[in-house]
């Protein structure tokens, strides 16, 4: 149970992609603490096993979310063990990282990787759960975008395109399924202390802190709090929205 004593997800089945580390792990744990039966998938077997030991209320799968057959198997098997998905958090995604470059010297192979892991996985996973949610007349989907989709940071054109694609997809899907009792929203974190963040040069971190009005870098738990709110019944009147979680760096 979390600090506030809430069990908003008791009796609910929650699926989280990219759950072994960082925001995915923190959010999955928050759902679990609030009573959810939990299904998690990630390509990092040891980390996922350490974070989420299998028990009767946890289904764990190791696999690459870019593989449609893997995702199909994940949702099929989790439903057989836990029941239909009530909440989907599409967390998995990645920038080009060490392959990132200015657009004029970038490679199409890199763009395709970024779009596939960031946008296409979100669309595939959503496609696998939406028909069941429609049939039951209820459901929550929360998708992971990024503040950089709004800022348009240089050197990340492929990632910005993919993350803005997630926002556009979310808005369109939200309009389609709202009359069927389903909400679809986006979180767009800024500087969050994750493993990827730790790889950044210190001068980049210092610049981000200077540009952030609250004066510090966020924690994965800050994003987890927002995701679980949007996935809860408390947010029943919120859909198609993008919630930026960045300490005020981007204000719209």
| pLDDT tens digits, one per residue of 103-146 | 899 999 999 999 999 999 999 999 999 999 999 999 999 999 99
**Residue 121 · residue 94 · CB < 8 Å:** no
- What pLDDT is recorded for position 197? 66
Q: Please tell me the least confidently modeled range out of 34-38, 173-177, 191-195.
A: 191-195
Q: What is the pLDDT of residue 199?
A: 66
Residue 17 is encoded by which pair of tokens? Answer: 């992609």
Whether the predicted pLDDT of 230 surpasses 70: yes
- Report how far apart, in Å, the C-alpha atoms of 75 and of each of 19, 79, 157, 165, 205 are: 15, 6, 32, 23, 38
Pick 252 or 131 by higher pLDDT. 131
pLDDT band at 1; cut points 50, 70, 90: very low
Q: Give catalytic residues, as residue numbers.
A: 159
Instruction: Give the start-to-end residue ranges of the domains of the chain.
Output: 13-244
- Third-level CATH fold of 13-244: Rossmann fold (3.40.50)
Average pLDDT for 163-177: 98
């Amino acid at each position: 149970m979390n600090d506030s004593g809430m069990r908003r997800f008791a009796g609910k089945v929650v699926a989280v992609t990219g759950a072994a580390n960082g925001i995915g792990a923190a959010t999955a744990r928050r759902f679990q603490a609030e009573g959810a039966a939990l299904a998690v998938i990630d390509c990092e077997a040891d980390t996922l096993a350490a974070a989420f030991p299998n028990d009767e209320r946890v289904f764990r799968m190791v696999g690459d979310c870019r593989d449609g057959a893997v995702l199909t198997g994940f949702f099929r098997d989790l439903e057989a063990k836990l029941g239909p998905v009530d909440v989907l958090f599409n967390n998995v995604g990645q920038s080009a990282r060490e392959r990132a470059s200015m657009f004029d010297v970038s490679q199409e192979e890199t763009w395709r990787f970024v779009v596939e892991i960031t946008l296409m996985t979100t669309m595939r996973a959503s496609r696998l759960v939406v028909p069941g949610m429609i049939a039951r007349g209820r459901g929550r989907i929360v998708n992971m975008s990024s503040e950089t989709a709004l800022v348009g940071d240089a050197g990340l054109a492929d990632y910005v395109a993919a993350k803005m694609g997630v926002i556009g997809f979310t808005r369109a899907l939200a309009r389609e399924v709202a009359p069927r009792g389903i909400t679809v929203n986006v979180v767009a974190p800024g500087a969050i202390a994750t493993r990827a963040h730790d790889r950044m040069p210190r001068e980049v971190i210092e610049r981000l802190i200077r540009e952030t009005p609250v004066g510090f870098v966020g924690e994965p738990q800050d994003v987890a709090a927002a995701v679980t709110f949007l996935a809860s019944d408390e947010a029943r009147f919120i859909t198609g929205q993008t919630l930026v979680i960045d300490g005020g760096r981007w204000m719209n």
